[in-house]
Structure 1
């Protein structure tokens, strides 16, 4: 469980990006989100962001010296991740303030900048792992995996929150189902490339297939897909219970997948 802090940090940071962009986009295009609901969701982003930062520091040997990491911004993707993620959280805080002030034009303007910075932060996070020393990580799949997590968890989290508050009905299934389909295609391509790659990559695939978490991830992925498909074809299934259950199941699925990402990595 040494990598558990990294699992939590990467999942939460990616959820935050997808969730912030979803909230901003719905507010900008659809409207109908009350000040109270938007403020509560935005505050929840800040809480999750704070938790992600605290948990990430547990992975460091000397957490009190974490600030030194930004000194290598010019050459280190880790430094860039820290700087851009910190800036992203700062912009979320500013957006939260504008929700509190009920200043729609300013919070929508901040959304453009925050979304861009958040994308760069997740890109930087993925690049940390794309290293030749670990063949299973050194591919575009790592980028796909990180951004697909954002697209799956973030919008569904916001949709569940809106459903709970009965504030603005969003048929999020029409967005999530295509992402689920792409995720499945990417996974098939990824494991095919591992089996055709270096011995270390082949071994990583074997370890993954032999792990109980892999099959639990498949089961949870299919269960969440089934719920969202039902909600897509029948509006009666677009409820608090369905969106919340689908989010919880997908969160478990993505967390299991991220655990396997770290656990089955084989160095050259």
Structure 2
């Protein structure tokens, strides 16, 4: 159980940081960077940097010999773990430099923000591929990709919304609509994968059957997860129509993140290797 909590914390922090970077890049294209909103970008990228740094520190607990972690990059051509480490390092450097350049009002932040978004997505894709290409049937069938990328999008939307929600300008409302739409898609995709997964696990032999039984035993946890996600989504929609910012935005973000944490615990909790 301790391992599940550790893996959950690491993956959630990493995906939240990348998701914020992706949405901040979109904000730059939709809202634009102006002197009056520069502080919002600096704060957003600084938060993404801190989330990523915390995730990287947690990742060291999963390595038997942390000091040899850089050696893993040498297998980048054949190892998804090596690719994750490489893109994670690249993402951290880009997102930290983006925050620094924006704070110092130096040129180059636009290019680095694009590189941060791209390297971040590749990092999470590599992270999901590690789990998708194992002997755990429960992590196949697209489950790892939908869960990891879906969480990245969902958390990125709501966390960036805290910095960029304003109802008095059309560009901000347009960004909120884009974020809300992506949030809906990510939640529906994560919910739908369980129905698809249940049918696939039944055909995957003893390991698949055991994973299916474990999943059925977590119905209450699964219900709670998507209840939090749904309430968070409804809060987002209500805030948009009320044209009012405030504490509800933080409640929305907390509900979405909590829902993703519970969903991730289910993901790790139903993994059963073939042959056991």
Aligning the two structures, in what range does the TM-score lie when normalised by the shorter sequence?
A: 0.7 to 0.9
Which segment drifts farther, 146-155 or 222-231? 222-231
1:112-169 per-residue CA deviation (whole Å, 9 max, x = no partner) reads 22221111111111110012511111222321221111111112101113459x9995
Q: 1:198 to 1:80 in 2, by over 3 A?
A: same
1:70 aligns with 2:76: no
TM-score w.r.t. length of structure 1: 0.88
Distance 2:111 2:217 in 1: 48
The one of 48, 58, 63 aligned to 2:61: 58
Query: Residue 126 of structure 2 corresponds to which residue in structure 1?
Result: 124
Query: Residue 207 of structure 1 corresponds to which residue in structure 2?
Result: 214
Query: Residue 235 of structure 1 corresponds to which residue in structure 2?
Result: 243
Distance 1:263 1:27 in 2: 38
Q: 1:4 to 1:43 in 2, by over 3 A?
A: same
Query: Residue 180 of structure 2 corresponds to which residue in structure 1?
Result: 176
Query: Residue 87 of structure 2 corresponds to which residue in structure 1?
Result: 84
**Structure 2: any 5+ residue segments left out of the alignment?**
none
Aligned residues: 264
Query: Residue 254 of structure 1 corresponds to which residue in structure 2?
Result: 260
Q: Secondary structure at the match of 2:137?
A: coil
Query: Residue 267 of structure 1 corresponds to which residue in structure 2?
Result: 273
Q: Secondary structure at the match of 1:172?
A: helix
**Pairwise CA distance, 1:178:** 5.0
Distance 2:19 2:189 in 1: 20
Alpha carbon RMSD of aligned pairs, Å?
2.4
Q: Secondary structure at the match of 2:195?
A: helix
**Pairwise CA distance, 1:181:** 4.4
1:30-49 per-residue CA deviation (whole Å, 9 max, x = no partner) reads 12452333222222221111
Q: Secondary structure at the match of 2:163?
A: helix
TM-score w.r.t. length of structure 2: 0.86
Query: Residue 222 of structure 1 corresponds to which residue in structure 2?
Result: 230
CA contact (8 A) 1:195 1:202 kept: no
Q: Secondary structure at the match of 1:179?
A: helix
Moved over 6 A (4+): none
Which segment drifts farther, 221-230 or 239-248? 221-230
CA contact (8 A) 2:211 2:272 kept: yes
